[in-house]
Amino acid sequence: MKKPVFTGAGCAIVTPFKGINNAEVDFDKLGELIEMQIAGHTDAIVICGTTGESSTMPDAEHLSVIEYAVNKVAGRIPVVAGTGSNDTLHGINLSREAVRRGADALLQVTPYYNKATQKGLIKHYNAIAAAVDVPIILYNVPSRTGVNIAPDTLRELSKIPNINGIKECNLAQVTEVHCKCGDELNIWSGEDGQVSMMLGAGAQGVISVVSNVYPQIMHDMVMKYKSGDVRGSWALQAKTLGLVKALFCEVNPIPVKEALNLKGYNVGGCRLPLCEMEDKNRKLLADAIIEFEAKL
List, by residue number, the catalytic residues.
139, 167
Bridge-based pairing state of the strands 186-189 and 163-168: parallel
Compute the distance between CA of residue 222 and CA of residue 203 in angstroms, rounded to an integer.
10
Asked whether the bond before 273 is cis by omega within 30 degrees of 0, the reply is yes
Task: Tell me if 71 sits within 8 A of 37, measured CB to CB.
Answer: no
Compute the distance between CA of residue 88 and CA of residue 93 in angstroms, rounded to an integer.
9
| Closest C-alpha to 123, from 93, 91, 145 | 91
Q: Is the four-CA dihedral 286, 247, 81, 116 of positive or negative sign?
A: negative
Compute the distance between CA of residue 92 and CA of residue 52 in angstroms, rounded to an integer.
20
| Closest C-alpha to 194, from 182, 208, 180, 183 | 208
Task: Tell me if 34 sits within 8 A of 25, measured CB to CB.
Answer: no
